[in-house]
Structure 1
Amino acid sequence: MNTISYHYDAQKITAGIVHIGVGNFHRAHQQFYTNAVLEHEDQMQWGICGVCLLPSDEKTVHSLRAQNLDYSLTVCGRNGIDEVYRIGSLCELIWGVEDPEAVADKIADPSVKIITLTITEGGYNLDKETGDFILNDEKIQHDLKNTGNPSTVFGFVAEGLRRRKMKNSGGVTILSCDNLQHNGNTAKRAFTTFIEAQDKELAEWVRYNVTFPNSMVDRITPAVSPEDIERLNRKSGIMDLAPVYCEDFAQWVIEDNFIAGRPTWEKVGVEFTADVTAFENMKLSLLNASHTLLSYPSFLMGYRKVDQAMEDLQIVKFVRSFMDTDITPLVPAPGNTNLEEYKKTLIERFANHSVSDQVSRLCFDGISKFPVYIIPNLAIMIKAGMDLTRTAFLTASYRHYLKYRTDDNGHFFEIGEPWLNEEDQKLIDDEDSTAFLSLSAFKGADLKNSAKFVELYTQFASQIKDQGTGPVLKSIIK
């Protein structure tokens, strides 16, 4: 196995970036690009100070500190050949539970020009129906009243910015790296609403001194189990307490709106643009939507790993037909992107045995995923009179997954739906399958008023219950 070590002097790096949420994806994606850019001598001021805010981060913090913050990243090739990178761009690590003052002081440091975030899609505390920031949340209320003793990311960032303003440390960019459409706009809505409610003078300062560019991120990065740690270390020969592994594909597209400067990430493959919308649309409509499309049917057919599901030619044809017939007419290719090559690469990525993602991870939180990945294009498809076969089958599969919780092999399973509310549960429990079409996740498309969709969906719902998912999928593959 090829091991690639960094060649810069880690002792000379200073932190120009504060990153909140030092999870696996961040360490496989943003750290990967930053580690590469630090090889350029004029970029040594762009090291990353990681910030962890949760009690559950303790193990990660102690593991990384025990090895001077270095760690190994195994990039798993679709050709079966892996490469191991030694990552040294994490030059500081603060655990907010242990030292909350250090978090705010670091954000206020004039050498820090960028605050990046991976706090998960649900971490922005926005109401799923209105999109408004939830000010009456108990922890938010605590932070609004206790500026010097924050507990949430919003409280910590606000306190850091307040100290930054007092010290005249200059402007800063807040860059979301979470998998959200227009994630910069989302971050801006969340942080500015909180700050406006807490400190109107600071809110005015933020208005002129903080930018929130949108970005699009992409790299499949599975969770790391204790067995994975042993396996990765055995293959790499490195005794790493906190290794990470990921696929060999990576993409990062960012709107170039950095008020205080930025690394020259473009030297290492990052793409800068004036508007990230077309890139987001392509990824969400093809990668994320296809993940959702294959997840529930695959799980109901008994598959538990994505690469295993992609060995089933029926599933491959199902996904590729969705990409070609349903989505390609609706998705213009951004920039110089070759859409046919992009789709081909997606199929290869899903089938990568070395990454072997969990199907259950793709199934998790469908209530949040359908409104973002499926419903916007489905609404257009219905209005345009397009073929609704695959989306109706997906919807019927999702109902069966939620309602019966048993796969084609008779195996019972637990579902992962943290945002499922009582009204949604009543719709799932209803024996009339059409009631399910009023699920909160489907509000962006009037599914019940499409006679063709209802006809296909009810047919599939009945067939899946009587015959199983696999036979029904086989019947719609052409």
Structure 2
Amino acid sequence: MDIQAYQYDSKTIKSGILHVGVGNFHRAHQQFYTDQLLKNEDQQHWGICGVCLLPSDEKIVNNLRSQNLDYTLTICGRDGKDEIHKIGSLTELIWGIEDPKAVVDKIADRAIKIITLTITEGGYNLDKETNEFNLNDEKIKHDLENPENPTTVFGFIAEGLRKRKAEGNGSITILSCDNLQHNGNTAKRAFTTFIETQDKDLAEWVKTNVTFPNSMVDRITPATSPEDVVRLNKKSGIDDKAPVYCEDFTQWVIEDNFIAGRPAWEKVGVEFTQDVTAFENMKLSLLNASHMLLSYPSFLKGYRKVDEAMEDKSIVKFIRDFMDIDITPYVPAPENTDLEKYKQTLIERFSNKSVSDQVSRLCFDGISKLPVYMMPNLAKMINDDKDLTRVAFLFASYRHYLKYKIDDKGHSYEVAEPWINENDENLISSDDPIDFLGLSAFKSIDLKKSNQFVQLYEKFVSEIKNLGTGKALELII
């Protein structure tokens, strides 16, 4: 199969961006856009220096280093036709566990104008009840008290900015690329709270020398299994230890608020705007919320691949009714966007057999995702006395998924919820389903005060347990 190799000499590319969190999504999204841009000679100072901070990053670091940081990206078309790109925009890769000083030095480097982040929804260390930065976290307390020996992204960036300030190396932008409403505002709250607590002088410098644009990112990118590596390499003919694959749809909308300059990403399809709110709301409310709605019922019915779940008419109707009836009234279409076409495209994207995303990936870390994707519109629905059937079914499914760990087909499974606390565990294990509504993820709304929600939720808890998720779902569509 033809491979689209990058059209520049990777050895001559200079790093102008430092990115924290070199995972699959970053390598399918920001790296892809940047790779496409670097063929322009006047943009070749915008290569990306990757930074990994976790012990678990050792494998990806070693794999990428073994192949000069190049990797293949397979873009899976909805028409069954795939494209394979060889990506060369990752110019350096630093592992903080191995060389923490190199991370700090790179943040301080005058050539670095932008720090980008994919640290996940839960990575911003915000309290789920107050939405404030949690200063009592043990790792945060360590970094506050040991600024010269950081372990968290907040400690590293604070120390790097401190050195940057001391050396007079100029302003910088911190750009979140995570799926959060107003992710730039979230990043600003998290980093400035940490820095104000640790170093008042640095906090003053940050006020006038660091910007935090909001952005909206979108590209479905599954995790890569060992079987996927074999499959992708067979297709490409390249022995790639770190291949990535993704869907053919991609979108990136960014507030144009870069204090130290930026790449001309608009040349390769990025949209710049003064306000990303409408784009964020559309994507989080329709794509991400629908992914959540799909995830737990599909997993409990026994599906492990999203495209297989999308062959189930009850799942498709469940999602489409949620989009059309529950969410569309709360989603003003962004400029030049056809909302009906957008929703139909989502159904096509979820059904993409070439991507064949994992349902388990959608289920992962629901405790962090639900407050972002589901709770804001649920609050509006309760206030407006809307039908809460589908959302109540999701909550009942989530409880069953967490509590019983067995699906309709009798298969047991492991739950991946890294941010669940001890109180959450107690509420999940309780035999009274109402206790579950006190979970930390739900604290923005007192769900127990909504009689309609409680009645529907208790009904679905009973039906899912006694009839199975599949039969319970059929009763509501």
| Interval of TM-score (by shorter of Structure 1 and Structure 2) | over 0.9
Cα 1:435–1:11 shift into 2, 3 Å: closer
Tell me the alpha carbon deviations over residues 439-465 of structure 1, each in whole angstroms, 9 at most, x when there is no partner: 332223333232222222222222222
The 3-state SS of whatever aligns with 1:48 is strand
| Structure-2 separation of matches of 1:227 and 1:255 | 39
Partner of 2:66: 66
Partner of 2:214: 214
Amino acid in the other structure paired with 1:230: V
C-alpha displacement of 1:194: 1.7
| Structure-1 separation of matches of 2:243 and 2:384 | 48
Q: What is the TM-score with the length of structure 2 in the denominator?
A: 0.96
Cα 1:428–1:99 shift into 2, 3 Å: closer
Partner of 2:275: 275
Query: Which region of structure 1 is more displaced relative to structure 2, 372-381 or 315-324?
Result: 372-381
Let me know the Cα RMSD of the aligned residues: 1.6
| Structure-2 separation of matches of 1:353 and 1:266 | 30
Partner of 2:204: 204
Partner of 1:324: 324
Is the 8 Å Cα contact of residues 128 and 371 (structure 2) preserved in structure 1? Answer: no
Cα 1:442–1:123 shift into 2, 3 Å: closer
Partner of 2:386: 386
Cα 1:422–1:145 shift into 2, 3 Å: closer
Q: 1:342 and 2:336 equivalent?
A: no
Is the 8 Å Cα contact of residues 17 and 49 (structure 2) preserved in structure 1? Answer: yes
Matches within 5 A, 1:197-276: 197-276=197-276
C-alpha displacement of 1:472: 1.8
Is the 8 Å Cα contact of residues 135 and 141 (structure 1) preserved in structure 2? Answer: yes
Tell me the alpha carbon deviations over residues 20-39 of structure 1, each in whole angstroms, 9 at most, x when there is no partner: 11111111110000001112
Amino acid in the other structure paired with 2:339: L
| Structure-1 separation of matches of 2:155 and 2:456 | 49
| Structure-2 separation of matches of 1:43 and 1:29 | 18
Tell me the alpha carbon deviations over residues 400-459 of structure 1, each in whole angstroms, 9 at most, x when there is no partner: 222322221222223223333343344334434333333332223333232222222222
The 3-state SS of whatever aligns with 1:45 is coil
Tell me the alpha carbon deviations over residues 285-316 of structure 1, each in whole angstroms, 9 at most, x when there is no partner: 10111011111111111111111100111111
The 3-state SS of whatever aligns with 2:45 is helix
- Give the percent of matched residue pairs that are identical in Structure 1 and Structure 2: 74
| Structure-2 separation of matches of 1:150 and 1:432 | 43
| Structure-2 separation of matches of 1:141 and 1:404 | 35
| Structure-2 separation of matches of 1:434 and 1:126 | 25
| Structure-2 separation of matches of 1:98 and 1:457 | 49
Partner of 1:158: 158
| Structure-2 separation of matches of 1:101 and 1:9 | 28
Matches within 5 A, 1:54-453: 54-453=54-453
The 3-state SS of whatever aligns with 1:79 is coil
Is the 8 Å Cα contact of residues 129 and 444 (structure 2) preserved in structure 1? Answer: no
C-alpha displacement of 1:238: 1.1
C-alpha displacement of 1:133: 2.0
The 3-state SS of whatever aligns with 2:216 is strand
C-alpha displacement of 1:319: 0.5
Is the 8 Å Cα contact of residues 96 and 102 (structure 1) preserved in structure 2? Answer: yes
Cα 1:426–1:108 shift into 2, 3 Å: closer
Cα 1:442–1:147 shift into 2, 3 Å: closer
Partner of 1:31: 31
Cα 1:153–1:423 shift into 2, 3 Å: closer
Aligned residues: 477
Partner of 1:42: 42
Tell me the alpha carbon deviations over residues 202-240 of structure 1, each in whole angstroms, 9 at most, x when there is no partner: 111111100011111111111112221111111011111
Is the 8 Å Cα contact of residues 129 and 441 (structure 2) preserved in structure 1? Answer: no
Query: Which region of structure 1 is more displaced relative to structure 2, 92-101 or 281-290?
Result: 92-101
C-alpha displacement of 1:399: 2.1
Is the 8 Å Cα contact of residues 408 and 469 (structure 1) preserved in structure 2? Answer: yes
| Structure-1 separation of matches of 2:200 and 2:432 | 51
Is the 8 Å Cα contact of residues 2 and 82 (structure 1) preserved in structure 2? Answer: no
C-alpha displacement of 1:392: 1.8
Cα 1:79–1:183 shift into 2, 3 Å: same
Partner of 2:473: 473
Amino acid in the other structure paired with 2:183: N
| Structure-2 separation of matches of 1:193 and 1:437 | 30
Is the 8 Å Cα contact of residues 292 and 363 (structure 1) preserved in structure 2? Answer: yes
| Structure-2 separation of matches of 1:432 and 1:137 | 30
Structure 2 residues not aligned, in runs of 5+: none
C-alpha displacement of 1:174: 0.6
Cα 1:449–1:132 shift into 2, 3 Å: closer
